[in-house]
Amino acid sequence: MRLATMLCLFLLTAVPPLHATVIDHLEPANWWIGMKRNRVELMVHGEGIAAATPKLQRAGVAIVDVQKTENPNYLFVTVEVAADAKPGAFDIEFVEGGKVVAKHPWRLDARAPGSAQRRGFDKRDAIYLITPDRFANADPRNDSAAGMKEAANRSDPNGRHGGDIAGIRKHLDYIAGLGFTQMWITPVLENNQPGFSYHGYAITDLYGTDPRFGSNDDYRALSKEARARGVGLIMDVVLNHIGSEHWWMKDLPSADWINNGGKFTPDNHRRTTIQDPHAAPGDRKGFLEGWFAEAMPDLNQRNPHLATYLIQNSLWWIEYAGLSGIREDTFGYSDTDFLSVWAKAVMDEYAGFAMVGEEWSANPAIVAHWQHGKANPDGHVPYMTSMMDFPVHIALRDALVRPEGWDGGWTPLYEALANDFLYPDPDDLVVFAENHDTTRALAQVNGDVGLWKLAMAYVATVRGIPQFYYGSEVLIEGPHERKDGELRADMPGGWVGDQANAFTGAGLSAAQRDAQDYVRKLFQWRKRTPVLHTGKLQHFAPVDGVYVYFRYDGKKTVMVALNRNPQASTLAMDRFSDFAKPGDRANDVLAGKAVTLGTSLALPAKSATILELD
């Protein structure tokens, strides 16, 4: 009897008792039938879950692989979806010792018709960039949210001001009315950080919209409603880092999930090390593995489970929200091989999709490295359809303020465009005068509206895909030195009680109304002018403060003359006889009148003259 009792006590202490396990996270929560990527790896997180065996009973769905890491709180379960599977919800069970210790719902959905054939943004489009916290607050009830560490404080330039998805939805007609056909919205995913959470780049939930912006359903509704107005939605994706309050940081899936052992090590920002044949390996590592900030842990995409997670996350959002494009943040900072695999996976799934990467360099050779079709000496094969044209952006801003001289005035811009031979397809680059990370173009030119108009005209008429930053159409100027919270100013009229309203025009000054009309006329005209989308470009060396180029396609010709001089200029036309001759008739796009060309052309001071030639 005593022996039997001792044996029972031994068995109770030697074998852990079975207990119910709580599944804290299972991502992604669903997938779609008919995807080329029909195998999806589920990240399952729950205390002790690695001791359990996942099982499911659903026709057309099978578990084909299960992997563990050194953390017993994670399982990576690969599910294969057959082409003949049916939509619907079912449970995935987790079994231990012959008993179900946990279960979690999962779902298969039918794809939207034509999903795989969707059109991404391209040179026919013009992009309106929005910082959602600063655009419009249509639902004050979500300005602060339970469980979110930072509450709204509109008086703080670096705090949350309350702009939301509802505010963008409310003003879609305004955006479309300006002539824009795409919206790039800075990240709206959860940023449950104690401060500076408004900008969205320290993500704490890669599958969940921040409740202070709205819900996943709200984001999807925004995409659908925008599409109905001819406006696509471009999602801002962050592959390089997460927020320090992401739930992973409390229980890392594996020891190598975060670079530098999960400890803050500042990035050296030496982006040239990726291609530099002379770069020290330590410098290259310092660029790829360093952290942007202590609040932004740097992800190690060399970990195969993390790489798969990030790829699936991008595909999930494209399919779920009906996206027309991705803007990828801090592009070159992620693992180089991973970037190729990630972009290829997206383009394999959606052949007509578009993605633009941020590579903040004045050197076009550095930027061109990442565009699809580039033959790189280091063997890297890129799949990005587009890149942000920072070389032209930097040259444009320089050209507007640099004094005249043999290497001054428009010369930096003229020579920057001459570097197009480095790109596989320069027509697919995104051109811009400003964005959410730069001072405003109006601040760059010290409030000179004439020079600002020149910048807008250039972006709208040069080769590439133009991107415009919200609020500039009503002359938001912002600080002259980069102060992010101030340059990302509130859109006038986006909040109840605002004295001026960009959306209705109430309270705007004459200068603001004129600027808004200028942008509307420019981009509505661009929208209906195919030669600006697909036409060739020929430019002429700037002379005496005037830069001239032509867009042409054999059917239509557009002449653009940019005069940055503080006085009117007379442009001799003999240099341009291949495109325009005395007696030719033209339409002055901005003045809205017909003109007959002579031997010279009068150019008003600090202005763009745009002529459609008959």
Whether cis (ω within 30° of 0) applies to the bond prior to 424 is no
Q: What gap in Å lies between CA 613 and CA 93, rounded to an integer?
A: 69
DSSP state of 240: S
Is 358 catalytic? The answer is yes
Q: Collapsing DSSP states into helix, strand and coil, what is residue 572?
A: strand
Cβ–Cβ contacts within 10 Å for residue 485, how many? 17
How far from the centroid of its chain's Cα atoms is residue 343's Cα? 14
Q: What gap in Å lies between CA 246 and CA 500, rounded to an integer?
A: 38
Among the options 143, 190, 210, 358, which is catalytic?
A: 358
* Run of H or E including 391: helix 390-401
Q: What gap in Å lies between CA 275 and CA 95, rounded to an integer?
A: 49
Cβ–Cβ contacts within 10 Å for residue 71, how many? 16
Mention every residue, 6+ apart, whose C-beta is less than 8 A from residue 185.
129, 130, 132, 168, 233, 234, 235, 236
Structure tokens at 127: 């992009």
Using alpha carbons only, what angle is made at residue 494 by residues 491 and 495, rounded to the nearest 5 degrees?
Answer: 120
Q: What gap in Å lies between CA 184 and CA 354, rounded to an integer?
A: 12
Q: Do 126 and 460 contact (CB within 8 A), yes or no?
A: yes
* CA distance readout (Å), 359 to 59, 153, 399, 579: 45, 32, 21, 36
Residue whose structure tokens are 């950080």: 193
Among the options 122, 133, 218, 329, which is catalytic?
A: 329
Residues with catalytic annotation?
Answer: 329, 358
